[in-house]
Amino acid sequence: MSLLEVEDLHASAGGREIVRGVDLRVAGGEVHVVMGPNGSGKSTLAHALMGRPGTTVTSGSIRVDGTELVGLPAWRRARAGLFLALQQPIEVPGVLVEAALEEAVGEDAAGEVPRRLREEAGAIGFDERFLQRALNVDLSGGERKRNEVVQLGVLRPKFAVLDEIDSGLDVDAVRAVARRIERATSEWGLGVLAVTHFHRLLRELRADRVHVLVGGRLVASGGPELAEELERTGYGAYGAEEGAA
Ligand SMILES: Nc1ncnc2c1ncn2[C@@H]1O[C@H](COP(=O)(O)OP(=O)(O)OP(=O)(O)O)[C@@H](O)[C@H]1O
Ligand SMILES: [Mg+2]
């Protein structure tokens, strides 16, 4: 059983501490959800986990199956089994998704990539012609999100951090994407840390735990019912002012 362990993680961006002591344990096959107001540090947490340049871990630990990731470049964290779908996937002109994935999986598995790409695209109704374009170039917002899920399916990481994978997706796409990810949790024991604002993602992607991030700290945790409650009540009860960043 794989294990992602985050211990007392502090991270800063732009010279300011944004993640202020986060503890998490996600086991393989589990789905953990992080919700919280705009500006509470959800994306910064995701960036800190993956080692995105611009975000600095100032203290704490991030381990995948005992391997310490803090201090490692993103590609090494990926090799250790971590995957990040960005809230706003970036364009990489000149690089086909197929080429990027062949490079990522290494020579031995590269031959499988074209077939697996088509399978994964089919699984979420993502048009294969988008696979012929440079990574995320000339794709709509929703198409980019689905492109991330296709890559997730081909790479089969141990853990996926999904930053608002549902934002910008139409209702059918949300369902298809959530189903694909849910299936991955049993197919190869994928562990998921999903950031979302919307409970609807969790209709098909069943959450084991829901955490509330406010001001860079996890202030509450609960079962899936917490996501429904938050959508109804907002974050006022957790000390977040309405409309405040
Ligand atoms: N590089 C940076 N420089 C300065 N401030 C930053 C930087 N990155 C993030 N911040 C600030 O840190 C706070 C947290 O940002 P973050 O993107 O993590 O929020 P979030 O919880 O993901 O919000 P949202 O729900 O809107 O996506 C915000 O106030 C943001 O402006
Ligand atoms: Mg965000």
- Percent of the chain residues past pLDDT 90, beyond the cut: 93
Q: Quick one: tokens of 180?
A: 């694909």
DSSP line for 198-231:
-GGGGGTS--SEEEEEETTEEEEEE-THHHHHHH
Q: Report whether residue 67 contacts ligand 1, using a CB cutoff of 6 Å.
A: no
pLDDT tens profile 181-231 = 999 999 999 999 999 999 999 999 999 999 999 999 999 999 999 999 998
The Å distance, Cα 46 to ligand 1 centre, comes to 11
Q: Atom 30 (ligand 1): residue with closest C-alpha?
A: 39
Q: Report whether residue 40 contacts ligand 1, using a CB cutoff of 6 Å.
A: yes
Q: Quick one: tokens of 193?
A: 């840390």
Q: Please write down the HEC assignment for all residues of 140-199.
A: CHHHHHHHHHHHHHHHCCCEEEEECCCCCCCHHHHHHHHHHHHHHHHHCCCEEEEECCCH
Q: Residues in the chain with pLDDT < 70?
A: 241-245
What pLDDT is recorded for position 243? 53
pTM, whole model, 2 decimals? 0.96
Report the C-alpha gap between 33 and 15 in whole angstroms: 27
Q: Report whether residue 43 contacts ligand 1, using a CB cutoff of 6 Å.
A: yes
Q: Atom 9 (ligand 1): residue with closest C-alpha?
A: 13
Report the C-alpha gap between 146 and 117 in whole angstroms: 12
Report the C-alpha gap between 53 and 49 in whole angstroms: 11
Taking the CA of 197 as reference, the closest ligand is: 1
The Å distance, Cα 164 to ligand 2 centre, comes to 7
What b/e readout covers 19-52, taking b as 16+ CB neighbours within 10 angstroms? bbebebebebbbbbbbbbbeebbbbbbbbbbbbb
Query: Which helix (H) or strand (E) element contains residue 16?
Result: strand 16-27
Which atom of ligand 1 is nearest to 245's Cα? 29
- CA angle, 13 then 51 then 109, to 5°: 155
What pLDDT is recorded for position 18? 98
- Domains of the chain, start order: 3-96+154-238 (3.40.50.300)
Site to probe by mutation for ligand 1, drawn from 40, 45, 50, 145 as the one with most ligand atoms within 8 Å of Cβ, is 40
